[in-house]
Amino acid sequence: MSTGADDTTAQRLRLLQAEFLVHPQTGPGDGRSSRPTHAPAPVNLGVVDRIRAAVYEVEHHTRTAAPTAGPAPAEAARVYDWARQHTSHLATEQQNAREAIIYRQGLEHAIAAGDTDVVRKHPCPQCGCVGLYWREAAQRAVCINHYCTDDNGVSNMWELKRLAHDHISRKSAVARRAT
């Protein structure tokens, strides 16, 4: 894979943590009481679980491929570098599988932080149109092309896993052509 490892996923994870897991600053008190004006917002447990599951997935995948990898770093966002370090000797397909997971998690972190536009730049796997949009209820990216539908006339929808797989395959093909 490329040497300039894409650390977007780690950045997005940090952003998600900063957005949802850090207790907001308490407002100024009224001067007579030590109680803050606003109670601190509770830590968002959904996000905690989401991050934990993401780290576990990468950790598990890495250990399966490289049983001697040792402990994963304590800081969640560093798990991606750790995974790359310990699997950089593996065959291209295995590295692509790792990158597809990391890339998908980057999309998931961004969407969890409210940035659903991240799906837009991906071409539709069916028709190649660019301009997918995120449908929260379905947890899928939907094609904007009115003619791109299934047999029932429902717009084609794609899991992030599929978009990530296609993205990494394209990147890998470009890298192969360049060498």
149 binds Zn ion (CB under 5 A): no
**Smallest distance from Zn ion to CB 155, Å:** 8
Report if residue 126 touches Zn ion, rule: CB under 5 A. yes
Residue 73 or 125 having the CB closest to Zn ion: 125
Give the count of alpha carbons within 13 A of 31, CB side only: 0
CB 83 within 8 A of CB 98: yes
Binding of residue 127 to Zn ion (CB under 5 A) = yes
Check if the beta carbon of residue 55 is closer than 8 Å to that of residue 79.
yes
Q: Which residues, in sequence order, are CB contacts of 154 under 8 Å at separation 6+?
A: none
| CA gap 80, 6 in Å, rounded | 10
- Give 86 or 140: the residue with its C-beta nearer to Zn ion: 140
Cα distances (angstroms) measured from residue 164 to each of 42, 145, 147: 32, 20, 23
Beta-strand runs (E) in 110-158: 133-135, 140-142, 157-158
Beta carbon of residue 130, minimum distance to Zn ion (angstroms, whole number): 10
Which amino acid appears at position 155 of this protein? S
CB of 126 to Zn ion, least distance (A): 4
Q: Which of 16, 77, 101, 143 binds Zn ion (CB under 5 A)?
A: 143
Residues 9-48 that bind Zn ion (CB under 5 A): none
Q: Tokens representing 32?
A: 């007579």
Site string for Zn ion, 68-107 (x = CB under 5 A): ----------------------------------------
Number of residues in the chain: 179
Residue span binding Zn ion (CB under 5 A) among the ranges 38-46, 52-60, 117-125, 166-174: 117-125
Contacting residues toward Zn ion, per CB under 5 A = 124, 126-127, 129, 143, 145, 148
